[in-house]
Amino acid sequence: MKYLITGGAGFIGSNFIHYLFEHYPDCEVTNLDKLTYAGNPENVKKFEKNPQYKFVKGDIADMQLVDQLTSSVDFIVNFAAETHVDRSITGPAEFIQTNVVGMQVLLDAAARHKKRFHHISTDEVFGDLPLGTGGKFTERSAYFPSSPYSASKAAADHLVHAYSRTYGLDATITNCSNNYGPYQNPEKLIPKTITHALLGKKIPVYAQGRNVRDWIHVKDHCKAIDTVLQAGRTGETYLVGGNCEKPNLEVVDMILKMLGKDDSLIELVPDRPGHDLRYAIDSSKIERELAFTRNYDFDKGLIETVEWYKQNQAWWQPLIEKQEPQTTV
């Protein structure tokens, strides 16, 4: 099978390319990535000499390029997105351009060439849930995004559903909770905590660290995407979570203990505007309908992730050196 992976030099997209070649060694992959701050060619460097892999530097909003690449593939899997919430607050325009306009260009091409289309979305489109409650997001939850980032992703979701219904596009969506694992940019909470702790730097944490996230290992997320590509019903959304809710401060504390550090490195910082309190995903639909199961619990996944960052300082050190000052999720 031939895949067009957009945003395949980013965190989740690159992990999915690793997943594809591991599970489908005969597949062909074209990776279209603009290589913004979130795209790192080092994530997919091992495939450079693979004749079944092709990298194309380009923008998903480039209609001519997207049309050309779409015509010869079987699957289009869209990971391409501006994703960092803080950046969307200070500069929303590029989020609209990539996440909304780029999506429209991809969907036009997919519909024109009648390709199977899958879109990677986020639980953030639903807004947030109160702390200390048991409710979870489901596929029927109302959209109520809190940031320019999540609003742009919500718009993209609506476009996918509209193209499926209006044009008969064979399309599906997965909305996922917070991912962690190898190749994640160190501006995010878990890799930021690991790298700052290894360097003896302060670890900024919003709002006393009370905010709760549901965590899923990126390899389990990739498995879920593949499951939906193979067996998902057209026009449907599937929520993918880790059944692992934890306050951010607890996650930071776990990492510090794994690295033999104490909590003196933690620096509590003022909350960001519109910061969501709690995310929680009900994954029962994908588990029930598609028999999806996870391979990682959080303890196992976090230990592996900490070890990966310890062993790959040459990968993340250049990213930290060129980063603008950022806080966490």
Question: What is the per-residue pLDDT across 231-271, written as a single tens digit (0 to 9) for each?
Answer: 999 999 999 999 999 999 999 999 999 999 999 999 999 88
- Determine what percent of the chain is predicted with pLDDT higher than 70: 98
Pairing, β 203-206 against β 266-269: parallel
Q: Is the pLDDT of residue 328 over 50?
A: no
Question: What is the per-residue pLDDT across 30-52, written as a single tens digit (0 to 9) for each?
Answer: 999 999 888 999 999 999 999 99
Same domain, 170 and 199: no
Same domain, 231 and 268: no
- The C-alpha atoms of residue 156 and residue 170 are separated, in whole angstroms, by 16
- Determine what percent of the chain is predicted with pLDDT higher than 90: 89
Number of domains in the chain: 2
Give me Rg for the CA atoms of the chain: 19
- Tell me the residue range of the domain where 85 lies: 2-179+215-240
Same domain, 233 and 249: no
Question: What is the per-residue pLDDT across 263-298, written as a single tens digit (0 to 9) for each?
Answer: 999 999 988 787 889 999 999 999 999 999 999 999
Q: Domain containing 193 — which CATH number?
A: 3.90.25.10
Same domain, 70 and 191: no
Strand order in the sheet with 2-6: 53-57, 28-33, 2-6, 75-78, 116-122, 171-176, 237-240
Active site residues: 123-124, 149
- Structure-block tokens of residue 206: 């919003």
Question: What is the per-residue pLDDT across 84-136, written as a single tens digit (0 to 9) for each?
Answer: 787 899 999 999 999 999 999 999 999 999 999 999 999 999 999 999 888 99
Structural domain includes residue 283: no
Same domain, 96 and 135: yes
Residue 327's pLDDT is what?
45
Q: Is the pLDDT of residue 304 over 80?
A: yes
The rounded mean pLDDT for the chain is 95
